[in-house]
Amino acid sequence: MARRSMSAFDRVILAVAPGWAAARAQSRYRAKAYGSAYEAVEPGRMRKRARDRGNGNAVVAGSQMALRDMARHLDRNHDISRGILDILVRNVVGPDGIGVEPQPRDAAGNINNDLAVQLSELWEKWSALPEVTGELNRARSEHLLARSWFRDGDSFWQYVEGNVPTLTHGTAVPFSLELLESDMCPVDYNDPTKNVLQGVQCNAWGRPTRYGMYKSHPGEPYAPMPELKWVDTAQIGHIKLIDRIGQRRGVSMFASVLGRLDDLKDYEESERIAARIAASMAAFIKKGDPASFPDSPADANAPKRELYFEAGMIFDDLAPGEDIGMIDSKRPNPNAAAWRDGQLRAVSAGAGVSASSASKNYNGTYSAQRQELVEQWGAYSVLSKAFIDQHTAEVYGRWCDMVLLAGLVRLPKGMTREGFKHAVYVPPSMPWIDPLKEVNAYAEAEDRCYVSGPEILRRQGRNPSDVLRAQAKWQQDKRDAGLLTAAAPVPPENDDEPSA
């Protein structure tokens, strides 16, 4: 059957040169497979196919500034966009910022509790005044950095260490942060001869070595264009949202939903205007009788009649053939809410927030809300981990170095610097929908040794050591006040005899 399907020419080639015939058949089958592999990639009259043959930096170079400007405009002027950014900051960084629990470990991996308490006290004091202006605490600083990160695509900060002229550090630790917007590093500055792309200089392996930073903000009013300086990466922190390997600058979280958000803003504004017009009753006089129209210029210049609307009024001065018509704009649109809800769900998926949080619509059963929260919290956790790795952990490590250099704490014998810097970072915890069910579930998990008590407290964003000290003091205060406290069950004295 295979030979009957072959052409006469192929049969001749098969008899004379079998290898050539096999190669022709293989090429024929391969071409057929290529032609029918994926219909989705074939362009057509009704469907165009985008081509992206550049790397991540090529795409960012022409879009980053425009996306950043559009995102900032929506943050200022669109309530939904501003709310989405608030949701991201609240669930990724939390109201108190990323929790840091120092846990310095010796060479054997044991935690030095006395040193941990000492570092916690120093860290708490530094967190009150961590940046150069003295206006922001650490939580507020992280809020602004995270907001810039999501909205602009990236943000920077400079490490200011040691004695610096004109600067007074907020605490005894000679260490402060200078927060910098993404504008400070020009994304449109390129020098291929020095491997500088989008304001970032890299070595042959693609590792950043220097950042080009303006000496002042380029958007400062009534000021000339600032001078550009080059700062070593050891002095600059950089957090960015990237989608491609090797991408040097970040892109706004709103990049894929900016068009939809802008359309949604315009549509809602149009609906509001239409509803406002509809609320102002308007009418017109229909003149069906030709005799009712003016026949001479004198009649045309006659004063216009005015009809006043009031409750229960009767029109008794209509001319023959005239009728009253009402203008109905069909607003408010009964389908607007459903359309808006669908658009918000699409925006939420692209912006990385839950649909119920973006729309402020929390209708649904406990199971549905719980499922949405659990699924969405995974996305928040990914962003929290990225923020910790790129900012909080790096800042804490540099802070520990300055604590040692300033002589505020001595490095114990046998402890390495890496062990000294060890800490537990606590991101925001998933909120409870039904507190009673959540508490019982955690209690049972701890009783069965599925999870430890300190881990449960960390998931709630609390420091286990602080909770334990506060609880011990509370119990002691109750005993001092003469109040009875629940006593733990006393085990039997004779362990050999089984209990009843």
Pairing of strands 154-161, 228-232: unpaired
How far is 282 from 279, CA to CA, in rounded Å? Answer: 9
Return the percent helix, strand and coil in the chain, to nearest 5: 45, 10, 40
Q: Are 125 and 137 in contact (CB under 8 A)?
A: no
Q: Is residue 5 very low, low, confident or very high in pLDDT (cuts 50, 70, 90)?
A: low
Q: Are residues 123 and 79 in the same domain?
A: yes
Look at residue 326 and tell me if it is in a domain.
no
Look at residue 151 and tell me if it is in a domain.
yes
Q: Is residue 396 very low, low, confident or very high in pLDDT (cuts 50, 70, 90)?
A: very high
Domain boundary among 179, 211, 240: 240
> What pLDDT is recorded for position 403?
96
Neighbour tally for 422: CB within 10 Å: 19
Domain boundary among 240, 269, 289: 240
> What pLDDT is recorded for position 500?
39
Look up tokens 């649909």; give the residue. 355
Look at residue 436 and tell me if it is in a domain.
no
Backbone angles phi, psi at 131, to 5 degrees: -120, 165
Q: Alpha-carbon dihedral of residues 59, 61, 65, 68, nearest 10 degrees?
A: 40
Domain boundary among 240, 267, 294: 240
How far is 269 from 346, CA to CA, in rounded Å? Answer: 19
> Pick from 249, 158, 250: which is nearest to 201 by CA?
249
Look at residue 192 and tell me if it is in a domain.
yes
> What pLDDT is recorded for position 37?
60
Q: Are residues 76 and 209 in the same domain?
A: yes
Look up tokens 């003149």; give the residue. 287
How far is 388 from 255, CA to CA, in rounded Å? Answer: 23
Domain count, the chain: 2
Range of the domain at 21: 8-39
How far is 307 from 325, CA to CA, in rounded Å? Answer: 13
Q: Are residues 78 and 14 in the same domain?
A: no
Summarised one tens digit per residue, pLDDT across range 377-386 is 889 999 999 9
Look at residue 351 and tell me if it is in a domain.
no
Highest mean pLDDT among 88-92, 301-305, 457-461: 88-92
Q: Are 351 and 257 in contact (CB under 8 A)?
A: yes
Q: Are residues 12 and 89 in the same domain?
A: no
Q: Alpha-carbon dihedral of residues 44, 47, 49, 50, nearest 10 degrees?
A: 150
Q: Is the pTM of this model over 0.75?
A: yes
How far is 236 from 211, CA to CA, in rounded Å? Answer: 8
> What pLDDT is recorded for position 499?
44
Q: Are residues 126 and 15 in the same domain?
A: no
Q: Are residues 61 and 90 in the same domain?
A: yes
Provide the CA 160 distance to its chain's centre, in angstroms: 27
Look at residue 89 and tell me if it is in a domain.
yes
Mean pLDDT, the chain, rounded, equals 84
Q: Are residues 200 and 236 in the same domain?
A: yes
Q: Are 28 and 142 in contact (CB under 8 A)?
A: no
How far is 378 from 375, CA to CA, in rounded Å? Answer: 6
Q: Are residues 24 and 63 in the same domain?
A: no
Summarised one tens digit per residue, pLDDT across range 339-373 is 888 888 899 888 889 888 888 877 777 777 778 88
**Cross-strand bridge partners of residue 131:** 177
Residues in Cβ contact with 305 at an 8 Å cutoff, skipping those fewer than 6 apart: 317
Look at residue 434 and tell me if it is in a domain.
no
Q: Are residues 34 and 62 in the same domain?
A: no
> What pLDDT is recorded for position 498?
46
Q: Are residues 89 and 29 in the same domain?
A: no
Look up tokens 């943050």; give the residue. 75
Evaluate if residue 17 carries a pLDDT over 90. Answer: no
Q: Are residues 132 and 19 in the same domain?
A: no
Q: Are residues 71 and 33 in the same domain?
A: no
pLDDT, average across residues 223-247: 93
Structure tokens at 281: 């009753």
Look at residue 183 and tell me if it is in a domain.
yes
Look up tokens 């970040």; give the residue. 250
How far is 452 from 443, CA to CA, in rounded Å? Answer: 10
Summarised one tens digit per residue, pLDDT across range 178-232 is 999 999 999 999 999 999 999 999 999 999 999 999 999 998 888 888 999 999 9
Structure tokens at 411: 């490095």
Residues in Cβ contact with 406 at an 8 Å cutoff, skipping those fewer than 6 apart: 172, 173, 174
